[in-house]
Amino acid sequence: MNEYNVSDYGIFTNAISTTQKLNTSIEAGKAIADECKAKLADASIFMGPAADSTQEGFTQVDAKVSTMTTNFNKIGDYLKQTSSTYQSGDQSASQSVLEVGNTSTVTEPTNAKYHLDIPNSVNQAGYTVTCYGPDGWHLGGKEQATRIAKGSKQEKVHKEWVANGAKYKNGIAVMNINGQDHYLIATSQALGNVGDTINVNFKNGQTIPCLIADAKSSHDSNYTKYGHARKDGSINVLEFEVDRLKYKSSGNPSTEKWGLEWDSKSDVASIDNFGSIL
């Protein structure tokens, strides 16, 4: 094992400088990818499966680039903090540097399909809901259920949920997957497809596992890339599938009446998508 002393702190300066240069290069690459995506969006020129596949490819590249940028920013912040401690003579920081490759604070889950950061420019306003039960969706909280389209991925997820016991946790539909309850949600397609499991990471550091049970339609008037648009211009990134009676008694899960296991006032920072269970 290498030995470090206080006079070695110059390695941090070089590491911080290199990290900043890498982030600049990554941002330049992202700008090129964004330009390509914008040009591909011209349906009068580019259309068909090949164009759609290419557009999806750039979306995945964009997600990976966001992950790299986030990780390099975390690495830079870590190095700056450790450098300050190290220069003051804290020798324990040396061991932290040697073990930086093992820290979990700078990498996304290793088995995640992709990672997506929610931009700070997205004005979030808590969550919205759809009432959900064994018979289907109870739109507007009505007692009469709307059947889920046969043969759809939504129906497959719904059948799995019913077979799993049609359970709720804190009034929100949950399904046990690999020994862990996942909240059923509807999201925009930027976060994933129906049947995907995702980890929702909040800005306060909390994480909840979820299962996408429905996708927001891009044809809806209130659709945005990152979720459900509200009349005041704010956005609900998450839409929970909830028990009708709980909703009628407690309202929206952004209130304190739901007894949630996470802070309902915290915005969504990012998601990690682990792929489909279907």
Contact 148, 154 (CB under 8 A): yes
The closest alpha carbon to 250, from 186, 174, 168, belongs to: 168
Query: pLDDT at position 99, please?
Result: 40
| 103/76 Cα distance (integer angstroms) | 14
| 8/139 Cα distance (integer angstroms) | 64
Query: pLDDT at position 84, please?
Result: 56
Query: pLDDT at position 77, please?
Result: 66
- pTM for this structure? 0.60
167 bridge partner residues? 174
Contact 194, 154 (CB under 8 A): yes
Contact 9, 89 (CB under 8 A): no
Per-residue pLDDT of the chain (278 residues), as tens digits, is 344 343 444 565 667 667 767 767 776 776 777 777 677 666 667 667 776 777 677 677 767 776 776 776 677 666 666 655 555 544 444 444 344 433 333 334 457 888 999 999 999 988 888 899 998 888 877 888 888 888 999 999 999 999 999 999 989 999 999 899 999 999 988 899 999 999 999 999 999 999 999 987 666 666 788 888 888 888 889 999 999 999 988 888 887 788 888 888 889 999 999 999 98
Percentages helix, strand, coil for the chain, rounded to the nearest 5? 40, 25, 35
Query: pLDDT at position 270, please?
Result: 93
Query: pLDDT at position 209, please?
Result: 95
Query: pLDDT at position 261, please?
Result: 86
Contact 188, 223 (CB under 8 A): yes
| 118/125 Cα distance (integer angstroms) | 13
Which tokens in the block code for residue 247? 């909703």
Query: pLDDT at position 258, please?
Result: 86
Query: pLDDT at position 208, please?
Result: 94
| 236/268 Cα distance (integer angstroms) | 10
- For the chain, the domains span 6-107, 128-276
Query: pLDDT at position 6, please?
Result: 38
Query: pLDDT at position 18, please?
Result: 74
Question: Phi and psi for 111 in degrees, rounded to 5?
Answer: -105, 15
Q: How many CA atoms lie within 13 A of 81 on its CB side?
A: 8
